[in-house]
Structure 1
Amino acid sequence: MTQSAATQVGRFHAGRMSEGLPRCLDAWRVTTDDAATATRIADLLGGEVQPNGAGGGLAHEVLTAHESVRVLVDGPAALSSHLILWHGHNVAHHCDGVDFLSPEEKKGQPCGCPRLLQDRKNEARKGSGPSPSIDLIFRIAAAPTLGEFRFRSGSWTLAEQLAKLDEALRRVNGPALCDLALELVVYTTRMGRDYSYRKPVLTVLGSPDTVRAETPLTAKSAPQPAPSVPSRRTNRSPGPTTPVRPNPPSPVSVDADSALLRRAAEALGTSGHQETVAAALSAVVQSKQQSTELDQLREQVAHIASIAERALRGESTPRT
Structure 2
Amino acid sequence: MGRLSEGLPQALDAWRVTTDDADVAARVAGFLGGEPQPNEGTGGAGLAYEVLTSRESVRVLLDGPDAVAAHMVLRGSNGIIHECDGVEFLSPEEKKDQPCGCPPLLEDRKLAARDGRGPTPSVDITFQIAAAPRLGTFHLMTGSWQMAAQLSDLTDALERVDGPAVCDLTMELVAYTTKTGRGVCYRKPVVTVLGSPDSVAPEPQPTAEPTPAPAPSAPRRKARPAPEPTIPSAPESSHSVSVDAVLLRRAAQVLGTGDHQETVIAALSAIVAGRQQATELARLREQVGRIAAITEQALQGRDSSLT
TM (norm. structure 1) is 0.71
For the 8 Å contact 1:186–1:283, the answer to whether it is kept is: no
| From 27, 51, 55, the counterpart of 1:62 | 51
User: For residue 244 of structure 1, what is the amino acid of its counterpart?
Assistant: V
Residue 309 of structure 1 deviates from its aligned partner by 6.9
Q: State yes or no: 1:45 paired with 2:38.
A: no
| 1:306 corresponds to 2:305 | no
Q: Give the CA deviation at 1:88.
A: 2.2
Contact 2:25 2:36 in 1 (8 A): yes
Residue type of the alignment partner of 1:256: G
Q: Which residue of 1 aligns with 2:80?
A: 91
Distance 1:200 1:157 in 2: 8
Cα pair distance change 1:134/1:142, threshold 3 Å? same
Mapped partners of 1:167, 1:201: distance in 2: 15
Matched, 1:75 2:64: yes
Aligned positions of 1:1-320 closer than 5 A? 14-55=1-42, 56-215=45-204, 243-245=242-244, 256-257=258-259, 260=262, 284=273, 303-307=290-294
2: CA distance between counterparts of 1:105 and 1:286?
50
| Cα displacement string for residues 152-172 of structure 1 (whole angstroms, at most 9, x for unaligned residues) | 010111111111001000000
| C-alpha contact (below 8 Å) 2:261/2:289 kept by paired residues | no
Counterpart AA for 2:196: S
Is 1:139–1:149's contact at 8 Å kept on the other side of the alignment?
Answer: yes
Cα 1:299–1:112, aligned 2, differ >3 Å: closer, same or farther? Answer: closer
Q: 1:90 Cα deviation (Å)?
A: 1.2
- 1:298 and 1:28 map into 2 onto residues whose CA distance is 22
Q: Secondary structure at the match of 2:148?
A: helix
What is the CA distance between 1:215 and its match in structure 2?
A: 4.5
Quick one: structure 1 residues 138 and 62, their matched pair in 2 at CA, closer, same or farther if it must change by over 3 Å? Answer: same
Deviation, structure 1 residue 194? 2.4
CA distance in 2: counterparts of 1:134 and 1:33, whole angstroms: 22
d(CA) in 2 for partners of 1:193 and 1:282?
19
**Cα displacement (A) at 1:53:** 1.4
User: Secondary structure at the residue paired with 1:26?
Assistant: coil
Match of 1:222 in 2: none
* 1:193 Cα deviation from its structure 2 partner: 3.3
Q: Percent identity?
A: 53
Evaluate the alpha carbon distance shift between residue 287 and residue 199 of structure 1 in structure 2; reply closer, same or farther with a 3 A threshold. closer
- Residues 70, 178 of structure 1: 8 Å contact kept: yes
Question: SS at 1:120's partner residue?
Answer: helix
How far does the alpha carbon of each residue in 1:77-100 deviate from its partner, in whole angstroms, 9 at most, with x for none?
A: 000100000112411110000100
Which segments of 5 or more consecutive residues in structure 2 lack a partner in the other structure?
208-236
Superposition deviation, residue 21 in structure 1: 1.5
Q: Is the 8 A contact 1:158 1:201 kept in 2?
A: yes
Which amino acid is 1:243 matched to?
S
Per-residue deviation, 1:34? 0.6
Give the match for residue 213 of structure 2.
Answer: none
Deviation at 1:74, TM superposition (A): 0.3
Distance 1:282 1:32, change over 3 A: closer
**2-side partners of 1:180 and 1:131: how far apart?**
22
User: Greater relative contact order (Cα 8 A, min sep 6): structure 1 or 2?
Assistant: 1
Structure 1, unaligned runs of 5 or more = 1-13, 219-237, 262-272
Give yes or no for contact 1:179–1:202 (8 Å, CA) kept in 2: yes
Number of positions where the alignment pairs a residue of Structure 1 with one of Structure 2: 265
Shift in Å at residue 32 of structure 1? 0.5
Q: Secondary structure at the match of 2:131?
A: coil
Say which one has the larger Rg: 2
Write the letter of the residue equivalent to 2:185.
Answer: S
- Distance in 2, Cα, partners of 1:282 & 1:146: 31
Whether the aligned pair in 2 keeps the contact of 1:177 and 1:213 (CA below 8 Å) is: yes
Structure 2 length normalisation: TM-score? 0.74
- Tell me how far 1:69 sits from its aligned partner: 0.5
Query: Matches of 2:142 and 2:98 in 1, distance apart?
Result: 26
Which residue number in structure 1 is paired with residue 216 of structure 2? none
The offset of 1:189, in angstroms, is 2.1
Question: How many Å separate the matches in 2 of 1:161 and 1:81?
Answer: 11
Whole-angstrom CA distance in 2 between matches of 1:73 and 1:204: 9
